[in-house]
């Protein structure tokens, strides 16, 4: 009986140890399975990274090269390339970093010069366009001023009963006058008096008409004329003086007219001031004026 109890106790002890061992190894199995699962996940991540890197490398450097040489041959070839690179570096006297820095500096200067060139090119294009517009407007202005000068010349000539024209050639830079008087006609019947057949007073009057026409086209604050009536007769001088004084009264410019003739037959106004000089005397050092 005692032996049977002992055998039962041993069987119970053995069963208990077996259950404990089973639990221990089951825990070990679960732990190993967890490690295997984590490694499998890590493997998937690494495979995905490898695939991505391989794709990037193939896009940048092309497909994978099939290496047929041995590692020893490739190592020897790499050493030769390194030696050639070092010799080239010694011959150039610059390190790759210095060359890269110089390249960066040259690239920056190039981009700046390119930007400056583009800006200057755009500026020149804009200035050429502006110049073309200004030239076009200037030509229009010149055309209208020429027409105004011609009309004024005809208007001033009509004060004396004359008729004339101004012929302007802007390309040749020439100006030609043709004047017709009341009593002078050309022999060819065209009705234009030749300058050689005009009297001195008529020539001077025509010159005054031209001068007034040019004055009308110029914006000059001061207008001066000296001895304009030297070769004029009384009729032409009276008409010329009247025209010049009327122009002076109707403008905002200052007019200075110098003449050796008398001013007694000229109607003066409050806006006109006459300075009369005395006859010069022998040995005189200063000029005396009489208002």
- By mean pLDDT, which of 27-41, 70-84, 240-254, 273-287 is the weakest? 273-287
The answer to whether 152 touches 213, Cβ cutoff 8 Å, is yes
Mean pLDDT, residues 106-114 = 94
Mean pLDDT, residues 240-261 = 85
Mean pLDDT, residues 235-240 = 83
Mean pLDDT, residues 252-259 = 86
* Tens-digit pLDDT profile for residues 158-181: 888 888 889 989 889 898 988 888
User: Higher confidence at residue 273 or residue 110?
Assistant: 110
Q: Rounded to the nearest 5°, which phi and psi values hold at 185?
A: -130, 150
Question: Is 186's pLDDT higher than 50?
Answer: no
Question: Is 156's pLDDT higher than 80?
Answer: yes
Question: Is 14's pLDDT higher than 60?
Answer: yes
Question: Is 216's pLDDT higher than 70?
Answer: yes
Mean pLDDT, residues 212-217 = 87
Q: How many CB atoms lie within 10 A of CB 58?
A: 11
Amino acid 191: pLDDT: 47
Confidence of residue 113 (pLDDT cuts 50, 70, 90): very high
Amino acid 138: pLDDT: 92
Mean pLDDT, residues 226-254 = 83
Instruction: Round the average pLDDT of the chain to a whole number and report it.
Output: 82
Question: Is 193's pLDDT higher than 60?
Answer: no
**0.75 surpassed by pTM:** no
Mean pLDDT, residues 229-237 = 80
């Amino acid at each position: 009986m005692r032996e049977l109890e002992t055998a039962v106790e041993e069987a119970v002890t053995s069963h208990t140890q077996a259950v404990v061992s089973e639990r221990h190894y089951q825990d070990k199995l679960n732990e190993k399975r967890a490690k295997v699962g984590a490694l499998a996940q890590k493997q998937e991540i690494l495979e995905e990274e490898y695939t991505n890197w391989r794709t990037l490398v193939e896009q940048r450097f092309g497909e994978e090269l099939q290496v047929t040489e041995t590692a020893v041959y490739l190592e020897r070839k790499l050493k030769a390339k390194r030696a050639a690179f070092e010799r080239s570096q010694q011959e150039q006297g610059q390190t790759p970093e210095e060359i890269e820095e110089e390249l960066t500096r040259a690239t920056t200067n190039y981009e700046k010069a390119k930007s400056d060139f583009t800006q200057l090119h755009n500026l020149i294009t804009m200035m050429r366009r502006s110049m073309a517009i200004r030239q076009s407007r200037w030509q229009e202005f010149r055309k209208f001023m020429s027409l105004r000068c011609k009309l004024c010349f005809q208007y001033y000539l009509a004060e004396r009963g004359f008729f004339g024209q101004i012929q302007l050639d802007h390309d040749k830079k020439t100006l030609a006058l043709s004047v017709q008087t009341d009593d002078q006609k050309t022999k060819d019947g065209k009705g234009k008096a030749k300058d050689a057949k005009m009297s001195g007073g008529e020539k001077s009057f025509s010159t005054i008409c031209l001068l007034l026409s040019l004055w009308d086209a110029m914006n000059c604050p001061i207008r001066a004329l000296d001895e304009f009536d030297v070769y004029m007769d009384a009729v032409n001088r009276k008409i010329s003086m009247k025209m010049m004084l009327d122009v002076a009264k109707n403008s905002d410019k200052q007019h200075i007219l110098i003449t050796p003739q008398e001013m007694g037959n000229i109607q003066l106004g409050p806006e006109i001031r006459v300075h009369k000089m005395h006859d010069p005397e022998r040995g005189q050092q200063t000029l005396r004026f009489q208002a």
